[in-house]
Structure 1
Amino acid sequence: MHKLPSTASPCPCGRGRTYAACCGRWHSGPLHLQAPDAEALMRSRYSAFVLQLQDYLLATWHPDTRPASLGADEPGLKWLGLEVRRHERQDDDHARVEFVARSKLGGRAHRLHELSRFVREQGRWFYVDGELY
Structure 2
Amino acid sequence: MKVCAIEIKSNKIIFVVLEKDSDNQITESTGKVKTIVLDDDHNHSQVIDCIETIHSHFNSLEIDKIVILSRSSKGQFSSSGISFKLEGFIQAYKNKPVEFVSPKTLSAFYKKNTLGIAAQFSYQSEASKLAYYILNS
* TM above 0.5: no
TM-score w.r.t. length of structure 2: 0.29
TM-score w.r.t. length of structure 1: 0.29
> Counting strand residues as a fraction of each chain, which structure ranks higher?
1
Higher relative contact order (CA 8 A, sep 6+): 2
